[in-house]
Amino acid sequence: MKTTGIRILTRADLERLLSLEDCIAAVEKAFALHARKKSLAPGLLHIDVPQADGEFHIKCGGLELEEIYACLKMSGGYFANPARFGLPSIQSTILLWSGKTGSPLACMDGIHITIYRTGAATAVAAKYLARRDSATVGIFGCGNQGRIQLRALNLCFSLKKVYVYDVDAQAKEKYAREMSELLQLEVLPASNVEQAARARDIIVACTPARKFYLEDRFIAPGTFIAAVGADSPGKQELEPTLFRRAKIVVDILEQCVQVGELQHPMRAGLTTMQDVHGELGQVIIGDIPGRTSDDEIIVFDTTGTAIQDCATAALAYRRAVAQGVGQVIQLF
């Protein structure tokens, strides 16, 4: 019987194989394929582990790329890990299969791909939904995701000034200092949420908050908001009333209703599924319009989807095979 090997790709391997620009292109293609019905049932399972203050996100799905691929990603979110055990707060693994034969192709670190593909989704959404002359950004959350979000936006816009806020004062000072040097941008630590949010062209909310901090009154006409942090039940960053005056675009509607920022205005009776403008992929392929005026407030509710993981993992796998990167193990 013919056997197949599974390729093991470490974080270091993926850093060699995938650039942020690669991921932006791959994610845009993934959303377009999904809108054209060329994705395989992206799904989400959430597991709480209250005994250890943790949770797992399990995302699965696939895409019809050069070949058909399916993938599964399991991520553990244990936000007390750094203080308790000196471990990362999020750890993740991606498995990639052939959609033609069902053979497992690769097992790879999920953190690098998750960080990059999440930042890439915001950049793609902003490309279609933010004002093209956007120059000022407010970033909420100074972790790895806050950094990649700004790096991705900086590839797509001529940014001039960035305000950053975090509840950890030292973290926001460090972020401002390091990102200013890295990107040669004016990145300033905001003294409060309102200063970081008010009159910004683009706002990115990427914190683990469970109560909103971005108030409706802070948001000016014309703002594009990427709501990144809410990806499980109970997480929340935006005041629900904001959705009454915003155009709402989502990554995957069913996921956003269940675990995204949308869960809160829908539960409060402020928004229905009929109020959602559509999914990002529909905007990309031109089925629905994106921004239609400079005064529109647009919220992109993104929970993260396996089609993003699949697109980037498949690209990494193909390059790894071509370049002989990674260790191949015969499982059976």
* Given 2, 29, 37, 73, the catalytic residue: 73
- N residues, the chain: 332
Contact between 259 and 185 under an 8 Å Cβ cutoff? The reply is no
Burial of 38 (C-beta count, 10 Å sphere; 0-12/13-18/19+): middle
Contact between 325 and 6 under an 8 Å Cβ cutoff? The reply is no
Burial of 70 (C-beta count, 10 Å sphere; 0-12/13-18/19+): buried
Is 73 one of the annotated active-site residues of the chain?
yes
Q: Which is nearest to 64 in space by CA: 35, 92, 43?
A: 35
- Tokens found for residue 90: 């999020």
Instruction: Report the alpha-carbon distance of residue 232 to residue 294 in Å, rounded.
Output: 32
- Tokens found for residue 54: 């943790």
Phi, psi of 272 (to 5 degrees): -120, 170
- Tokens found for residue 50: 């209250």
Instruction: Report the alpha-carbon distance of residue 162 to residue 138 in Å, rounded.
Output: 6
Instruction: Report the alpha-carbon distance of residue 173 to residue 165 in Å, rounded.
Output: 9
Phi, psi of 46 (to 5 degrees): -120, 135
Q: Which residues are catalytically annotated?
A: 73
